[in-house]
């Protein structure tokens, strides 16, 4: 059979997709029984994937079965309840299922003409996000790969606006001779902000760093004088402590000075969608742009980041692309809001998550992560571990009095136990354990079971 006929028959017979679905559902069913991190032998088996590029056509069924046999055991069970490493998030069943369906659609979301359904759901989702976060009606959304990209686009929009206000068209005239732009940020800001600033050519030496307190919160009284040439970058959710910058007060100061405020709320912005944690993000509507991930706290599949921006003109101008074949419509044309042209229909998984959870369900999901983090901190303290941070959101930091080597040994033992997975961080010059509760799947029992592995590892390190 020639290649095309072979693929037509694979598409028509369903068997290949049923095979994949079978593996996937089997994986999901057993994810709680396996260790959180792959075993040594699963990792060694990955060597079998190192081979030369085949010349001949492969067998689809065999490829899938190899992938399942070698790949599934070598994946990290971030999707179950006991992964507390990086701020990752699990996946909501409805979002995952929506992804499966839309994968078959294989939509390109660049233009309405390329995918009316995506354009419509992007527009609906944009409105829902404004409502959830309490943002002004002119705010528009960009559906991007993640917060790194969202921060990049937010800062590009800010730059365009600041220059434009001074009669400088940044797209046309560029850097040389442009009005100088000041970047003001807390010294505990996320690395992706630094990356975006570097990529945009602001120059890291030009960032005006503001001291932060022992939780990593920018200290408002240390802010330099702000002006119309300034972009202030705030953080809603510190990647180690989960702390929030004083958004309300800084936004007021910035607004008086005419400065642009961007809030990096990759995982923490979702606090704004809860009743009890909303105080953490008080005043956020006074900023000009906000970056937030759906793939972390909201638990959509990757890659799902969002930029929200109150200045549509600046955003669209900063990201504009034109070409004789580009047909913009009366509807939402997604590429106007993103640097990419071709783009998968990720907003649909986000739409499915929002529609499924509703605002009450989002509150329950996000507050539930906080409750599990508080439980972790409580049980850690009861077991004589030292919790270093105020657990305001979903992050817990654990410190130790013993040597750095013992801390490393402790972390390795917990990780190797397969019972849970925790990360490490450097906090105020010392190695610490970083726990992030960010999956809907984590139960109170998961936390207690993980605690037991902590206690066991400590016994092994101490004796
Ligand atoms: C994860 C994270 C980012 C980067 O987001 P990606 O989606 O991984 O690009 C930025 N800021 C904070 C605070 C984060 O936690």
Q: How far apart are CA 443 and CA 32, in angstroms?
A: 12
Q: Give the nearest ligand 1 atom to 295 CA.
A: 7
Distance 65 CA to ligand 1 centre (A): 34
Q: What is the pLDDT of residue 1?
A: 80
Task: Write the CB contacts of 18 (distance below 8 Å, at least 6 apart in sequence).
Answer: none
User: Both ends of the chain: CA-CA distance in Å?
Assistant: 66
Q: What is the pLDDT of residue 32?
A: 87
Please identify which residue in the block is written with the tokens 């079971």: 449
Q: How far apart are CA 414 and CA 69, in angstroms?
A: 26
Q: What is the DSSP letter of 357?
A: H
Distance 270 CA to ligand 1 centre (A): 13
CB of 393 closer than 6 angstroms to any ligand 1 atom: no
CB of 266 closer than 6 angstroms to any ligand 1 atom: yes
CB of 245 closer than 6 angstroms to any ligand 1 atom: no
Q: How far apart are CA 146 and CA 165, in angstroms?
A: 29
Q: How far apart are CA 167 and CA 164, in angstroms?
A: 5
Structural contact between residues 268 and 236, judged by C-beta atoms closer than 8 angstroms: yes
CB of 241 closer than 6 angstroms to any ligand 1 atom: no
CB of 119 closer than 6 angstroms to any ligand 1 atom: no
Q: Give the nearest ligand 1 atom to 151 CA.
A: 10
CA 365, 292, 285, 184 torsion-angle sign: positive
Q: Please tell me whether residue 197 adopts helix, strand or coil conformation.
A: helix
CB of 190 closer than 6 angstroms to any ligand 1 atom: yes
pLDDT digits (tens, 9 = 90+) for 178-216: 999 999 999 999 999 999 999 999 999 999 999 999 999
Backbone angles phi, psi at 200, to 5 degrees: -80, -5
Q: How far apart are CA 231 and CA 254, in angstroms?
A: 9
Largest CA distance in the chain: 73
Q: How far apart are CA 413 and CA 173, in angstroms?
A: 56
Q: How many CB atoms lie within 10 A of CB 147?
A: 26
Q: How far apart are CA 130 and CA 314, in angstroms?
A: 18
Consecutive 10-residue averages of pLDDT for the chain (463 residues): 93 96 96 92 96 96 97 94 94 97 96 96 98 98 98 98 96 94 97 97 96 97 98 97 98 98 98 98 98 98 98 93 70 94 96 98 98 98 97 97 95 94 93 97 97 97 87
Structural contact between residues 423 and 84, judged by C-beta atoms closer than 8 angstroms: yes
Nearest to 142 by CA among 362, 292, 261: 292
Q: What is the pLDDT of residue 321?
A: 66
Please provide the DSSP assignment of 158-186 as one string.
HHHHHHHHTT--HHHH-STTPPP-EEEEE
Please identify which residue in the block is written with the tokens 């929009």: 157
Please identify which residue in the block is written with the tokens 């071709």: 342
Please identify which residue in the block is written with the tokens 């659609």: 105
Output the pTM of the full model: 0.96
Structural contact between residues 389 and 395, judged by C-beta atoms closer than 8 angstroms: yes
Q: How far apart are CA 458 and CA 451, in angstroms?
A: 11
What is the spatial order of strands in the sheet that 83-84 belongs to?
83-84, 421-427, 430-436, 395-399, 386-387
Ligand 1 test: best mutation among 266, 305, 425, most atoms within 8 Å of CB? 266
- Give the alpha-carbon dihedral of 143, 121, 104, 150, to 10 degrees: 0
Q: Give the nearest ligand 1 atom to 237 CA.
A: 13
């Amino acid at each position: 059979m020639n290649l095309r006929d072979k693929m037509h028959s694979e598409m028509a017979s369903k068997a290949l997709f049923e095979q994949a679905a079978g593996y996937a559902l089997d994986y999901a069913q057993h994810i709680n029984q396996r260790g959180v991190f792959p075993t040594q032998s699963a990792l060694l088996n990955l060597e079998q994937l190192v081979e030369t590029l085949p010349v001949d056509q492969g067998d689809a069924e065999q490829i899938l079965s190899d992938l399942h046999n070698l790949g599934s055991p070598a994946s990290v069970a971030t999707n179950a309840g006991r992964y507390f490493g990086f701020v990752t998030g699990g996946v909501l069943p409805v979002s995952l299922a929506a992804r499966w369906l839309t994968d078959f659609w294989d939509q390109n979301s660049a233009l309405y003409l390329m995918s009316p359904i995506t354009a419509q759901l992007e527009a609906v989702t944009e409105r829902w996000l404004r409502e959830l976060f309490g943002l002004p009606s002119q705010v528009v959304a960009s559906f991007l790969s993640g917060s790194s990209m969202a921060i990049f686009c937010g800062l590009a929009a800010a730059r365009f606006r600041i220059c434009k206000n001074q009669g400088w068209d940044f797209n046309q005239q560029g850097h040389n001779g442009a009005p100088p732009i000041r970047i003001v940020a807390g010294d505990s800001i996320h690395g992706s902000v630094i990356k975006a600033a570097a990529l945009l050519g602001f120059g890291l030496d030009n960032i005006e760093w503001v001291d932060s307190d022992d939780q990593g919160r920018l200290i408002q009284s240390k802010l330099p004088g702000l002006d119309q040439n300034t972009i202030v970058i705030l953080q809603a959710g510190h990647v180690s402590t989960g702390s929030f910058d004083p958004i309300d007060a800084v936004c007021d100061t910035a607004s008086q000075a005419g400065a642009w405020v961007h809030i990096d709320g990759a995982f923490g912005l979702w606090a704004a969608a809860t009743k009890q944690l909303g105080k953490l993000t008080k005043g956020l509507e006074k900023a000009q742009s906000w970056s937030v991930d759906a793939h972390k706290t909201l638990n959509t599949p990757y890659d799902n980041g969002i930029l929200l921006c109150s200045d549509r003109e600046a955003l669209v101008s900063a990201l504009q692309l034109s070409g004789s074949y580009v047909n913009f419509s009366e509807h939402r044309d997604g590429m106007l809001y993103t640097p990419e042209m071709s783009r998968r229909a990720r907003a649909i998984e986000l739409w499915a998550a929002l529609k499924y959870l509703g605002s009450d369900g989002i509150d329950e999901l996000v507050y539930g992560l906080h409750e599990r983090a508080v439980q972790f901190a409580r049980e850690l303290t009861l077991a004589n571990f030292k919790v270093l941070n105020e657990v305001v959101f979903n992050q817990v930091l654990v410190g130790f009095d013993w040597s750095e080597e013992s801390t490393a040994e402790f972390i390795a033992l917990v990780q190797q136990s397969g019972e849970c997975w925790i990360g490490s961080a450097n906090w105020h010059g010392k190695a610490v354990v970083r726990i992030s509760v960010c999956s809907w799947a984590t139960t109170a029992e998961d936390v207690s079971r993980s605690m037991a592995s902590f206690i066991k590892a400590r016994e092994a390190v101490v004796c």
